Amino acid sequence: MIIEMRKGTTPEEIDEVVQRAKSLGFGVQLNLGTDKAVVAILGSNTGKLSTDTFAVLPGVENVARIMKPYKLASRGFKADNTIVTVADVPIGGDRFIVMAGPCAVESEDQLMTAAKIVKDAGASILRGGAYKPRTSPFSFQGLEKKGLELLADARKKFGMPVVTEVVDTGSVNLVAHYSDILQIGARNMQNYSLLTAVGMTDKPVVLKRGLSSTITEWLTAADYILAQGNTNVILCERGIRTFEDSIRFSLDISSIAVVKKYSHLPVIVDPSHAAGHHDFVPSIAKAAVAAGADGLLIEVHPNPKDALVDGLQSLTPSDFARLMKEISRIASSIGRSV
């Protein structure tokens, strides 16, 4: 249930609504906008509440039920687009943001070389995996804490915020200490304990869509983070599993438009995991820009042939530099800058 307060409502009137909800055993989430406040009443039994319970209170303008499973991620709760700012980088506004770097942090030399490459080409945020959840337990699992330390060193050296994946609740605080953005991978999209844990931090979160998840399930997963008070959620479309086997995953380009219509959260695209092959990454990336995505998450390696993880889908330095120029032209044509 969503309660819109009138413009100019007093803090006392807002508090009365909040206290009424809490007295009935419901949770509350506030969205204090510049013009008006919106109060979300959260709980499994809100359907049994009469709208009159809150409509009669002073300062209440409108009471509405949100029928979709996701509440806090919906435009019913927040009409304006959310802009997540990391350092001085705004994600979700007029500027198109590119996060780029190697899939996995392999060594100091590899990471520093990659960081210089992507920054010189125009990327705003450095990506790199310190913890790598892999399909096989015998595959390279990442440098873990050492990898985090290297990412922090790269941030200091190149002045770029860093994004890296957190894979379990036990490592949330450690990863948050070293990184600027926490990434939830596709395989963990419905790991509700992990979503709750990152929601308790003050770090922005990139939430990747699950391999076989619907958009509704994806946005409902975002609610787990938002419900803990962390409003800095960035959605990431990375392709879903379909009957098609010519590429790694089928990128659902339509999800960008659907998310933009029904949610206020920014959405970026990972063309590398969708494509699975470097030949297809540029085309998918450019389509995402044109479709209205707010950014890209791209894998770039100084020498993909030597990569320990996902070398086939990683762009070379020259291919990435060329793509950045093409992205810039497309973004400019729709009124955005890179």
pLDDT digits (tens, 9 = 90+) for 274-296: 999 999 999 999 999 999 999 99
Q: How many domains is the chain built from?
A: 2
Query: Does residue 70 sit within a domain?
Result: no
Q: Phi/psi at 223 (nearest 5 deg)? A: -60, -30
Last residue of a domain, one of 34, 64, 94: 64
Query: Does residue 102 sit within a domain?
Result: yes
**Cα(37)–Cα(255) distance, integer angstroms:** 29
Instruction: Tell whether 41 and 171 lie within a shared domain.
Output: no
pLDDT bracket for residue 35 (50, 70, 90): confident
Instruction: Tell whether 55 and 201 lie within a shared domain.
Output: no
Last residue of a domain, one of 11, 31, 64: 64
Instruction: Tell whether 188 and 308 lie within a shared domain.
Output: yes
CATH of the domain at 194: 3.20.20.70
> Structure tokens of 94?
């007029």
Instruction: Tell whether 142 and 196 lie within a shared domain.
Output: yes
Domain range for 180? 84-333
Instruction: Tell whether 138 and 226 lie within a shared domain.
Output: yes
Give percent of the chain with pLDDT exceeding 70.
Answer: 98
Query: Does residue 77 sit within a domain?
Result: no
pLDDT digits (tens, 9 = 90+) for 83-128: 999 999 999 999 999 999 999 999 999 999 999 999 999 999 999 9
Query: Does residue 104 sit within a domain?
Result: yes
Residues 269-273, mean pLDDT to the nearest whole number: 97
**Cα(221)–Cα(224) distance, integer angstroms:** 5
Query: Does residue 122 sit within a domain?
Result: yes
pLDDT digits (tens, 9 = 90+) for 149-176: 999 999 999 999 999 999 999 999 999 9
**Cα(338)–Cα(330) distance, integer angstroms:** 10
pLDDT bracket for residue 53 (50, 70, 90): very high
> Structure tokens of 269?
């695209």
Query: Does residue 69 sit within a domain?
Result: no
pLDDT for 49 equals 87
Instruction: Tell whether 136 and 200 lie within a shared domain.
Output: yes
Residues 326-330, mean pLDDT to the nearest whole number: 97
Query: Does residue 73 sit within a domain?
Result: no
Instruction: Tell whether 142 and 36 lie within a shared domain.
Output: no
pLDDT bracket for residue 220 (50, 70, 90): very high
Query: Does residue 71 sit within a domain?
Result: no
Instruction: Tell whether 157 and 203 lie within a shared domain.
Output: yes
Instruction: Tell whether 116 and 209 lie within a shared domain.
Output: yes
* pLDDT(140) > 80: no
CATH of the domain at 13: 3.30.70.1140
Instruction: Tell whether 180 and 209 lie within a shared domain.
Output: yes
Instruction: Tell whether 237 and 293 lie within a shared domain.
Output: yes
pLDDT for 46 equals 81
Instruction: Tell whether 55 and 134 lie within a shared domain.
Output: no
